[in-house]
């Protein structure tokens, strides 16, 4: 890697410094002679001063999607070296990228897409038509399971009101709950520079379905089968834009990997559980600088 690079890790205003995982990556870059500065994405900054900008913990983007998209477009216009690139990040902002991947042959969790501008449909009718009994409702633009909830059994009038309010605020997704996720957890496969790096297994708290730590979920480094790694890598084959990092999240259904989310915008890469992976991250970033 060239010496003395000036690198920004884009974060959010509510974060003091860097996450524990990103601090490990920054330490490795600094060990190689670069300077790494955490900068909230919506801060008043001349981003062209940086040799590279890496989107990391921009975890409030979904609360300000138009502003965040504008920031991505600005950096693209100014030819800032941004990783992952602006067009890929913009595509990954909305979870309907899953439709593109499904059309490309990727196995994804079955999803009913409800458009904000579409004809009104009751949640009960939607679920009944698909034969689902246990479902998860979420916005098409969200993070950390924000405004995401589970409905088991009869759909109540309150469920319908909550669903209508969510649809009124933006496009919405309804999915059947994947039992293996609750029972066995959700896998996250980290890829750096096109190669598999490491994997973790995230488990929800007892009685919950959300694997995020803010909801009581736990995470541990785990060794997946080679077949699952191959299946997770195949998820990335339709992506044509260049990229630095990717996290492929999914669960195992009947012995095969099924995609839940492809995280190429601001995923936690869990360097705290695989510190040796920070070396490859630094090397790959240097190759793109």
Mean pLDDT within 92-121: 90
For 205, what's the count of Cα atoms within 13 Å in the CB-facing half-sphere?
7
Q: Is the pLDDT of residue 244 over 60?
A: yes
pLDDT in tens, 204-238: 887 777 777 777 788 999 999 999 999 999 999 99
In the chain, the DSSP E strands lie at: 6-11, 35-40, 52-55, 82-83, 112-114, 134-139, 149-152, 172-176, 186-192, 195-203, 218-221, 245-253, 256-263
The CATH homologous superfamily of the domain defined by 97-108+180-270? ATP-grasp fold, B domain (3.30.470.20)
What are the structural domain ranges in the chain?
Answer: 6-93, 97-108+180-270, 112-176
Q: In the CATH scheme, what architecture does the domain 6-93 have?
A: 3-Layer(aba) Sandwich (3.40)
In this model, does residue 103 exceed pLDDT 90? Answer: yes
> For the chain, what is the mean pLDDT?
93
Q: What is the mean pLDDT of residues 109-115?
A: 92
Question: Helix, strand, coil: what percent of the chain each, to 5?
Answer: 35, 25, 40
State residue 249's pLDDT score: 97
What integer pLDDT is reported at residue 281 of this predicted model?
97
Residue range 112-176 forms a domain whose CATH class is: alpha beta
CA atoms within 13 A on the CB side of 69: 11
Whether residue 2 is predicted with pLDDT greater than 60 in this model: the reply is: no
Q: What is the pLDDT of residue 99?
A: 95
Q: Is pLDDT at 3 greater than 70 in this prediction?
A: no
Of 50-59, 149-158, 228-237, least confident by mean pLDDT is 149-158
Residue 22 predicted with pLDDT over 90: yes
Indicate if the pLDDT at residue 119 is higher than 70.
Answer: no
As a whole-number percent, the residues of the chain with pLDDT over 70 amount to 97
The whole-angstrom separation of Cα 248 and Cα 199 is 9
Of 166-170, 247-251, 281-285, the range with the lowest mean pLDDT is 166-170
pLDDT per residue as tens digits for the range 268-289: 999 999 999 999 999 999 988 6
Residues across the chain: 289
What pLDDT does 121 receive? 78
pLDDT number for residue 1: 43
């Amino acid at each position: 890697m060239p010496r003395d690079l000036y690198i920004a890790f884009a974060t959010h205003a509510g974060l003091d410094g860097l996450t524990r995982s990103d601090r490990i990556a920054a330490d490795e870059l600094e060990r190689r002679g670069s300077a790494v500065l955490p900068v909230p994405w919506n801060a008043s900054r001349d981003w062209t001063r940086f040799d590279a900008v890496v989107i990391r913990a921009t975890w409030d983007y979904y609360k300000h999607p138009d502003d965040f998209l504008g920031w991505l477009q600005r950096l693209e216009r100014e030819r800032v070296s941004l990783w992952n690139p602006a067009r890929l990040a913009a595509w990954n902002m909305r979870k309907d990228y899953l439709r593109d991947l499904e059309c490309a042959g990727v196995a994804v969790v079955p999803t009913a897409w409800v458009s904000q501008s579409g004809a009104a449909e009751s949640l009960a009718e939607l679920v009944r038509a698909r034969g689902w009994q246990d479902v998860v409702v979420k916005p098409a633009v969200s993070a950390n399971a924000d405004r995401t909830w589970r409905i088991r059994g009869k759909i109540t009038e309150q469920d319908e009101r909550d669903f209508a309010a969510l649809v009124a605020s933006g496009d919405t997704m309804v999915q059947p709950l994947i039992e293996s996720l609750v029972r066995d957890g959700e896998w996250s496969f980290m890829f750096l520079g096109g190669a598999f790096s490491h994997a973790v297994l995230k488990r929800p708290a007892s009685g919950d379905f959300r694997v995020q730590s803010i909801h009581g979920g736990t995470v541990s480094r785990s060794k997946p089968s080679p077949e699952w790694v191959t299946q997770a890598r195949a998820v990335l084959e339709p992506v044509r834009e260049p990229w630095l990092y990717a996290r492929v999240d999914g669960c195992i259904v009947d012995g095969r990997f099924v995609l839940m989310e492809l995280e190429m915008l601001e995923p936690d890469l869990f360097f705290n559980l695989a510190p040796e992976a920070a070396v490859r991250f630094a090397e790959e970033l240097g190759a793109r600088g």
